[in-house]
Structure 1
Amino acid sequence: MTLSDPLLNAREGAAELGISEPTFWRWVANGTLRKPVKLGNMSRWPRSELIDFIEQAKAKRATA
């Protein structure tokens, strides 16, 4: 993560992935997505990690 890598909240992360917020939280709970960076009581995900998740899914699709 770099300083120019924005931290997204769950709503923004879900929008980035094109899923609902409940699905986003379910994926975090079951380990599909990485746990958040905690800043006090806030949960945030680096945008780069969500993009990596998408790229990994695309790579799996290409090899299937």
Structure 2
Amino acid sequence: MTTPNTNNVSTATTTLLCAEDPLIDMTFITTFTGMTDKWFYKLIGDGLFPKPIKLGRSSRWYKSEVESWIRQRIADSRGV
């Protein structure tokens, strides 16, 4: 009988966390965009910005999701 090895992290979890797509915080987002955290939290409440990943009392986002959101805003504003 084979017993599962509980000491190893699952492959799915390993692929979710990688240096190529780090988790970023609101300070990074506001510094990068020049917009306020209040504005982003309103967008989140309105369903117009990716929901945060809650880690305790902290909120984080995948950098790729934020970058995709910004690219879409640029395309929308230019009529692409």
Sort the TM-score into its range (normalised by shorter chain): 0.7 to 0.9
Other-structure match for 1:46: 62
Please, which of 12, 18, 41 is the counterpart of residue 25 of structure 1?
A: 41
Give the unaligned 5+ runs of structure 2. Answer: 1-15
Greater helix fraction, Structure 1 or Structure 2: 1
Greater RCO (Cα-Cα under 8 Å, separation 6 or more) = 1
Q: How many residues align?
A: 64
| Structure of greater Rg | 2
Whether 1:60 aligns to 2:76 is yes
Structure 1: runs of 5+ lacking an equivalent:
none
TM-score by length of 2: 0.65
TM-superposed CA distance for 1:19, in Å, is 0.4
SS of match in other structure, 1:63: coil
RMSD: 1.8
